[in-house]
């Protein structure tokens, strides 16, 4: 709002039009022509309004007014340029991208590109002075940033568009650094034991934990801790090597914030990495992150995180993790079948973004559950049948999983011993060289790292269930997120061996124990349990179809209320006439409705679930309906929440929503008219907030208050009389 350039225009009445049209027209001359038209139209409207008022009130038109004037060329140009923030953002971005000094990719530490997140981290680190990382919820954006830190080896300043984003990134980064201490300790022990230590990247200074606003505002921050952090950040920016500024949830930055941030980065010579989801809707004006993503696509400055890791529900890892977390019942020895079913149903229905594309030989979760062995099982839904199947075949599945993992251990043990032998041979050769011998001992072949087979999907799932059943804390807890590691089998196998050994054949138990203790000599097991391999994936389309089918089924069963969806135009701009016509042509009903004062979209990236914070009246207006965001590709769960602080802190609420409110509109049935077509309109709340009702309510309240006041007065008078009487009695 603070716009000195715009306000060089003297006639304050046209400021609104100037900023509106400037952001609409990319060509200055076109903008100027349109402004002239609008001003002459407004002039006529104002003149007509004066006449109307004069006619109706019977007075002469009021004093001569100053007519609306086109501003001077210079002032108009300044205002236009100011309003075209987008251009400025892009030009700053280009400067940053082209600045070779900032690229920090002279000596990048190579990371092992064994999986996508590492690759993404490497790409970010090798990117130019400005790098944008775009990805949907759960795509591993924040995690990739962590990987990039290790590659870049420069101090990192963690920022976020919101307080929670800033705090989250700061915490994650710090945790990752403190994990290095633990790893270093472990390494020391390994070295003592004569084992090969794990490679650890050097520790990096992590600074910040501030919002973009907090860092850029000139006034000192009230919070002393934050102020101290801010000072450290500013100090670090003066030093060399220049730090890297990382901004999480950059998709939520508005034009103004983005422009200020890029200016700041330009001035301070740092590198900036913006991580976010370009489909998110910022609180401020515009979608600058989206603009950047679109401008930088195809260059090194653009890194895409296309796969959903956190919520790729059909990936074994996510499901297993979900089951394990979902099953934390009071009694860990008991499988909470209901919860398992609940989780899997959710996983089955989730559409949190594109899942990993299917590779050769893989199948979808849906297809997998069609297997006759699962279909034979009792249960109402495929998922219930599947859980029953897992329970029934627990023993054999665990055996299989254990066998596979033991097989892996053996393969690794062989590989490691071969490596050791190679190293020893090299040493012996060097020693021989040093001694001046010509007859050098031959070197063995360099061993190949074994292709580690995965346990079968079923056994993996079963292990998660069994881990819960046995109360085995099979995997490490990392912050708030628990992720299963391959160690799950080690622990499960251990307990398995201890608990189920009696039922096993003679001799097998002993072998198993030996295998677990020594990590080798389990050839029998290896032969017995071939490794299974099944990764279950689904495409976005399949997931959408599944979701729609499930929704329909649930509505039919009465589990989901059949409510009208309310679709917000995700760009939060008015639909153009062409768009409206196109929608109408396609048989879609387009209706304008009232501004839906969405205060903010909370937690989209963190949970895949969007919460629209709206005011109370909007809540009623929605008929409790479901919100789908048109432009958001993640059609996940949405929820409308009433803003709790709206009444407590009106100032901040109004300030925050003033810009949004101006550009938000609800468009009913604009995109998916058939989804809940049969939904009856909820008329029960009609008129609840109408003017008449409000007046009635106010009158009623007033009546009540008056009645109460009357009673109070009456009682007071009676009391006074009694006191007077008592006084009189005493005097007489």
Q: Which residues bind other proteins (CB under 8 A)?
A: 1-4, 6-7, 10-20, 41-42, 45-46, 48-50, 52-53, 56, 62, 65-66, 591-595, 617, 620-621, 650-651, 654-655, 657-658, 661-662, 665-666, 668, 681, 686-687, 689-691, 694
The token duo for 264 is 């700041």
- Start-to-end CA distance of the chain, whole Å, equals 77
Minimum CB separation of residue 324 from other proteins in Å reads 44
Minimum CB separation of residue 622 from other proteins in Å reads 8
Minimum CB separation of residue 686 from other proteins in Å reads 6
Task: Closer to other proteins by CB, 504 or 580: give it.
Answer: 580
Whether residue 336 contacts residue 327, with contact meaning beta carbons closer than 8 Å, is answered with: yes
Minimum CB separation of residue 618 from other proteins in Å reads 8
Whether residue 153 contacts residue 109, with contact meaning beta carbons closer than 8 Å, is answered with: yes
Label the pairing between strands 477-478 and 481-482.
Answer: antiparallel
Task: Closer to other proteins by CB, 61 or 441: give it.
Answer: 61
The token duo for 246 is 């990382």
Q: Is 286 left (phi over 0), alpha (psi -120 to 50) or beta?
A: left
Alpha carbon distances (Å) from 188 to 25, 50, 193, 258, 614: 64, 86, 9, 45, 55
Task: Closer to other proteins by CB, 35 or 253: give it.
Answer: 35
Minimum CB separation of residue 120 from other proteins in Å reads 40
Could you tell me which residues are beta bridge partners of residue 626? 565
Residues sharing a CB contact under 8 Å with residue 449, sequence separation 6 or more, in sequence order: 415
The whole-angstrom separation of Cα 671 and Cα 352 is 19
Task: Closer to other proteins by CB, 50 or 696: give it.
Answer: 50
Alpha carbon distances (Å) from 518 to 163, 414, 496, 528, 530: 50, 13, 17, 19, 21
Task: Closer to other proteins by CB, 366 or 672: give it.
Answer: 672
Task: Closer to other proteins by CB, 36 or 430: give it.
Answer: 36
Minimum CB separation of residue 612 from other proteins in Å reads 15
Task: Closer to other proteins by CB, 66 or 730: give it.
Answer: 66
Task: Closer to other proteins by CB, 2 or 330: give it.
Answer: 2
The token duo for 115 is 């999986």
Minimum CB separation of residue 51 from other proteins in Å reads 8
Minimum CB separation of residue 250 from other proteins in Å reads 26
Alpha carbon distances (Å) from 724 to 255, 712, 715, 727: 73, 18, 14, 5
At 140 the three-state DSSP class reads coil
Whether the bond between 35 and the residue before it is cis, its omega within 30 degrees of 0, is no
Q: Which residue has the tokens 């030009």?
A: 91
Task: Closer to other proteins by CB, 418 or 595: give it.
Answer: 595
Q: Which residue has the tokens 């809707």?
A: 281
Compute how many other C-beta atoms are within 10 angstroms of the C-beta atom of residue 116.
Answer: 16
Burial of 560 (0-12, 13-18, 19+ CB in 10 A): middle
The whole-angstrom separation of Cα 702 and Cα 92 is 59
Nearest to 465 by CA among 362, 344, 382, 373: 344
Minimum CB separation of residue 637 from other proteins in Å reads 23
Distance of CA 557 to the CA centre of its chain: 32
The whole-angstrom separation of Cα 462 and Cα 467 is 8
Task: Closer to other proteins by CB, 1 or 678: give it.
Answer: 1
Whether residue 111 contacts residue 151, with contact meaning beta carbons closer than 8 Å, is answered with: yes
Task: Closer to other proteins by CB, 143 or 638: give it.
Answer: 638
Minimum CB separation of residue 7 from other proteins in Å reads 5
Task: Closer to other proteins by CB, 425 or 574: give it.
Answer: 574
Minimum CB separation of residue 293 from other proteins in Å reads 29
Nearest to 70 by CA among 40, 104, 50: 40
Minimum CB separation of residue 9 from other proteins in Å reads 8
């Amino acid at each position: 709002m603070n716009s000195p350039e715009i306000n060089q225009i003297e006639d304050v009445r046209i400021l609104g039009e100037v900023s509106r049209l400037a952001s609409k027209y990319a060509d200055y001359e076109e903008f100027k022509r349109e402004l002239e038209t609008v001003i002459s139209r407004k002039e006529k409207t104002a003149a007509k309004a004066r006449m109307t008022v004069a006619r109706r009130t019977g007075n002469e038109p009021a004093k001569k007014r100053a007519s609306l004037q086109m501003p001077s060329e210079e002032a108009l140009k300044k205002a236009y340029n100011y309003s075209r923030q987008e251009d400025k953002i892009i030009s700053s971005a280009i400067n940053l991208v082209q600045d070779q000094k900032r690229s920090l990719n002279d000596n990048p530490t190579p990371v092992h590109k064994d999986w996508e997140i590492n690759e993404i981290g490497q790409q970010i680190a090798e990117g130019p002075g400005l790098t944008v990382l775009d990805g949907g919820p759960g795509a591993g954006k924040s995690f990739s940033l962590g990987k990039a830190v290790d590659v870049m080896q420069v101090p990192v300043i963690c920022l976020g568009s919101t307080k929670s984003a800033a705090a989250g990134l700061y915490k994650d980064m710090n945790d990752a650094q403190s994990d290095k201490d633990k790893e270093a300790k472990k390494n020391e022990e390994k070295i003592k034991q004569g084992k090969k230590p794990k490679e650890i990247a050097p520790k990096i200074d992590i600074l910040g934990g501030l919002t973009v606003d907090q860092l850029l505002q000139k006034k000192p921050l009230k919070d002393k801790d934050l102020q101290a952090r801010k000072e450290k950040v500013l100090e670090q920016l003066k030093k060399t090597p220049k730090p890297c500024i990382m901004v999480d949830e950059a998709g939520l930055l508005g034009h103004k914030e983005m422009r200020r941030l890029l200016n700041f980065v330009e001035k301070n010579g740092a590198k900036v990495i913006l991580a976010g989801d370009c489909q998110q809707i910022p609180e401020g004006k515009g979608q600058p992150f989206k603009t950047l993503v679109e401008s930088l696509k195809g260059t090194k400055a653009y890194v895409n995180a296309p796969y959903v890791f956190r919520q790729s529900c059909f990936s074994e890892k996510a499901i297993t993790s979900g089951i394990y977390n979902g099953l934390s019942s009071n009694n860990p020895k008991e499988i909470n079948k209901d919860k398992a079913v609940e989780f899997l149903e959710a996983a089955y229905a989730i559409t949190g973004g594109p899942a990993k594309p299917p590779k050769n030989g893989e199948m979808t979760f849906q297809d997998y559950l069609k297997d006759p062995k699962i279909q034979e099982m009792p249960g109402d839904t495929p998922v219930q049948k599947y859980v029953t199947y897992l329970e029934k075949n627990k023993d054999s599945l665990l055996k299989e999983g254990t066998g596979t993992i033991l097989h892996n251990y053996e393969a690794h043990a062989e590989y490691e011993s071969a490596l050791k032998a190679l190293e020893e041979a090299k040493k012996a050769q060097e020693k021989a060289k040093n001694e001046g011998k010509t007859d050098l001992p031959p070197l063995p072949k360099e061993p190949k790292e074994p292709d580690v087979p995965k346990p079968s999907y079923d056994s993996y799932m079963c292990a998660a269930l069994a881990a819960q059943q046995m109360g085995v804390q099979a995997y490490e807890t990392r912050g708030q997120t628990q992720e299963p590691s391959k160690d799950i089998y080690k622990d499960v196998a251990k307990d398995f061996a201890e608990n189920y050994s009696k039922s096993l054949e003679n001799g097998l138990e002993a072998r198993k124990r030996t295998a677990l203790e020594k990590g080798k000599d389990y050839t029998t097991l290896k032969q017995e349990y071939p490794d299974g391999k099944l990764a279950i994936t689904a495409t976005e389309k399949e997931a959408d179809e599944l979701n729609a089918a499930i929704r329909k089924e649930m509505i039919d069963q009465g589990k989901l209320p059949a409510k009208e969806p309310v679709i917000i135009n995700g760009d939060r701009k008015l639909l153009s006439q062409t768009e409206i016509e196109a929608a109408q042509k396609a048989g879609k009903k387009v209706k304008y409705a009232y501004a839906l004062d969405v205060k903010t979209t909370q937690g989209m990236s963190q949970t895949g679930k969007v919460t629209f914070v709206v005011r109370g009246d909007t809540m009623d207006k929605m008929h409790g309906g479901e919100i789908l965001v048109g432009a958001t590709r993640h059609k996940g769960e949405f929820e409308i929440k009433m803003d709790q602080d709206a009444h407590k802190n009106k100032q901040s609420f109004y300030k925050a929503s003033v810009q949004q409110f101006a550009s938000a509109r609800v468009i009913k049935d604009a995109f998916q008219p058939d989804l809940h077509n049969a939904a009856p309109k909820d008329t029960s709340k009609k008129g609840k907030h109408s003017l008449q009702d409000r007046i009635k309510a106010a009158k009623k309240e007033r009546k009540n208050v008056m009645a109460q006041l009357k009673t109070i007065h009456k009682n007071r008078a009676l009391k006074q009389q009694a006191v007077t009487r008592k006084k009189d009695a005493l005097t007489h």
